Amino acid sequence: MSAADDRSSVHEPPAPVGLYEPFISSGRLIALSAISSARGGRLVTGKVGRDLDLEAGRAAARNAAENLLAVLLDAVGGEEARVEQILFVRGYVNAAEDFPAVHKVIDAASELIIHKLGERGRHARTALGCATLPNNNAVTIDAMAVIAG
């Protein structure tokens, strides 16, 4: 997918829900804050495996990944080619105790990131099931990446 295609799909990601920045870069390293799946102010809330099924969780993860990439694209001034490599993605699922498939939820985010960025989107990853997340969001995702100077 070309940078032009990506730009055409860029939307306004949700603003931080507290006293932090959407991203901070230093040198070529960039830290991307955990972001929710909110789209147009609509949150997806509740626990996956209790209030939401796997597919609903995956849809939320996909949207969170789109939001994360919108922040990243903004961080590089819209020049997608300046994204050198996604290093680490962490995916947080507001999950029912013993829900066995948080990795399948976060796979939907990983898939989107790799689809958009190709090899540069391949990443190390950690998926966790959490007791709760900000505003009872179902899924949030954060990342570290390397960008061209």
Q: Which residues contact 116 (CB under 8 A, 6 or more apart)?
A: 1, 6, 69
Is the CB of residue 149 less than 8 Å from the CB of residue 28?
A: yes
Task: Please state the φ and ψ torsions of residue 133, each to the nearest 5 degrees.
Answer: -135, 165
Instruction: Please report, as residue ranges, which positions from 46 to 85 form the binding site for its own copies (by CB under 8 A).
Output: 47, 49, 84-85
Applying CB under 8 A, among 2, 19, 41, 77 the residue interacting with its own copies is 19
- In the complex with its own copies, which residue's Cβ is closer, 8 or 134? 134
Binding residue (CB under 8 A) for its own copies from 65, 68, 72, 86 = 86
97 neighbors 131 (Cβ within 8 angstroms):
no
Binding site for its own copies (CB under 8 A): 16-24, 26-29, 31-34, 47, 49, 84-90, 92, 94-104, 106-107, 110-111, 114, 122-136, 140, 142, 144, 146
